[in-house]
Structure 1
Amino acid sequence: MTGREFTAFALAGEIDLNRLAGQLGIHRRYRWEEPLLLNPDTLTPITAEQGQGRQVYLYYFGGVVFIDCPDQVMADFAHRMGNTVEAFKTFSAGRYRETYSLRVEARREPVVANNYAIVPVYAPIFSDLIAFVIAKSVALERIEENVDTVLDEVEGLIALLDKGKVGIPDRRLAKLASTILNFKYRSISHVMILDKPDITWEDPASERLYLTMANQFELSQRYQEIKHKSDTLLDITEVFSSLSHARRAARLEWIIIILIFIEIVIYVFDIVRKGG
């Protein structure tokens, strides 16, 4: 083997791997962090050790990584998956895409760069680790774009507030808060940014490759940026919520004052009428 080519995509939603496995006739259960590895031509399960042909990794958080697959094979696979997996129905080969190369060159020192890695001897675990890292990277890219979209929306709300307009519906505020919390949940729990593969605890070479690649793709830094932006958005949402509650309380106070005034007017009217 002289090398392998990786192409990763981030889908719009999650993939229920156990449900998909059942539909494909695969009789086993997949753990939370375990990918489903398929032959993209036959849709049959394989392992990283089985041959060096085309492979596709499917991760529950919506990451899809093709190995040695031309564009047509990837498009055909996505089309076939669209019949059983909802997230594949909006598959786009142009967005949230990451490519990476693994080269095998004897008598060379290991090298890990931004878009390729060089190893003197190939081991199947290298494919697992590279696929896992770039799947995380494209998943983070989708989250980052969504966070920036919400930031733009909040910027518009701040502009309204600057003009003295604070009439933001509670339902919209609740939806914003839910979206922001979902960013934090997906980046920590779904994409597993803070988790390392089990093999890295046992194999120093695998750990070095994984940590070096994670550093190259700035996974930790990007997660911290998402966390910081999410915390800022939650703080802003809390301010809007406080203003909304204050506005509602003031409205209720005025309603009570008006009702008391009406009651006084009615009472005075009754006194005048009886006196007359």
Structure 2
Amino acid sequence: MPSRTHQFYAIAFVENLPLRGLTAHYPEARVSPHELYFPLDEGAGVYIYPFGAMVFHNVPQQRRDFELTRLEQAHPGLRTQIVREDYSLTEDPDSVVGLTNGNLRVDKLTTARAGVVALTVAQSAAMEYYEQVVESLFARTGKMVERMEARGSVPFRTRPLVRFIGEAIMNRNEVLSVLHLLDKPDATWEDSAMDRIYDDLRTEFDLADRYAALELKLRSVQEALELVVDVARDRRLLLLEVAVAILILVEILIPLFHISLTALP
């Protein structure tokens, strides 16, 4: 059997994809809690993941476009795909499973092994989307802290600040909720070669370090927002204390004013 190159092409979306809700549109698919998969002709296949990624295995461009349109019809409101990632590997009966110069080589690409590769490529594409989200949060938080440093305080109007904090918390929770992206798939426990494939690809895509960087930036964003909130709270407390002091002063001055009026001839 001659060697063969397999191409995996991943697309990540903004939205998560409810697999159970898609089953009616993909009657030929095999569905599990972690993926929806359906085969195509000549060893090709399509994978859909709940964290908002779709992977094509040996699928030509025209058929990819068709399947994307099909997914958009099955999930109305799906926003334009935002991240694309591709990866190729070589299947060669004479090869030993492993990476060579960044190229994965396997002796045999079974359906289960192809699923492990597809999942890892999907994880990398989804990770890139969250990297963009967190980088945007990180940059906006940095600008907010710079303005606070330049002005010595936060803006008096706190509604935009509260909205931004709400957005930051929502994005942070969304990123943390996909921690399972780095979980090792169950199939790797059944095949030592698949376990090696997953570990090699996870290293190739630098998934662990990228997630650690995400967590670090999220922690920095959280600490900066806590600082801004503390400053805003202190400012509002100061204003409240000033208002209370003014009211007390007014209460003292009013009787004195009345006394002075009655003392006039």
State the TM-score, normalized to the length of structure 2.
0.88
Q: Is the 8 A contact 2:29 2:36 kept in 1?
A: no
Once the 2 structures are TM-superposed, how far is the Cα of residue 265 of structure 1 from its aligned partner?
2.2
Q: Is the 8 A contact 1:9 1:135 kept in 2?
A: yes
Change (3 A) 1:59 1:113: farther
Choose between structure 1 and 2: higher helix proportion.
2
Amino acid paired to 2:37? L
CA distance in 2, matches of 1:243, 1:100: 48
Q: How many residues align?
A: 261
User: Equivalent residue for 2:78?
Assistant: 88
CA distance in 2, matches of 1:20, 1:75: 18
Q: Is the 8 A contact 2:28 2:38 kept in 1?
A: no
1:4 aligns with 2:6: yes
User: Equivalent residue for 2:177?
Assistant: 189
User: Equivalent residue for 1:48?
Assistant: none
- The equivalent position to 1:274 in structure 2, one of 244, 252, 262, is 262
Q: How does 1:1-276 map to 2 (within 5 A)?
A: 2-25=4-27, 30-31=32-33, 34-39=34-39, 52-86=42-76, 88-91=78-81, 95-112=82-99, 116-164=103-151, 165-167=153-155, 169-190=157-178, 192-276=180-264
Once the 2 structures are TM-superposed, how far is the Cα of residue 81 of structure 1 from its aligned partner?
1.9
Once the 2 structures are TM-superposed, how far is the Cα of residue 259 of structure 1 from its aligned partner?
1.2
Q: Is the 8 A contact 2:97 2:197 kept in 1?
A: no
Amino acid paired to 2:147? L
Over the matched positions of the two proteins, sequence identity in percent amounts to 26
Residue deviations 1:9-36 (CA, integer Å, cap 9, x gap):
11011001111113445798742xx200
Once the 2 structures are TM-superposed, how far is the Cα of residue 257 of structure 1 from its aligned partner?
1.3
Q: Is the 8 A contact 2:123 2:182 kept in 1?
A: no
Between 1:164-173 and 1:73-82, the stretch displaced more is: 164-173
Change (3 A) 1:151 1:68: same
Gapped regions of structure 1 (runs ≥ 5): 41-50
Q: CA RMSD in A?
A: 2.5
Amino acid paired to 1:215? T
Amino acid paired to 2:200? T
Once the 2 structures are TM-superposed, how far is the Cα of residue 161 of structure 1 from its aligned partner?
0.9
State the TM-score, normalized to the length of structure 1.
0.85
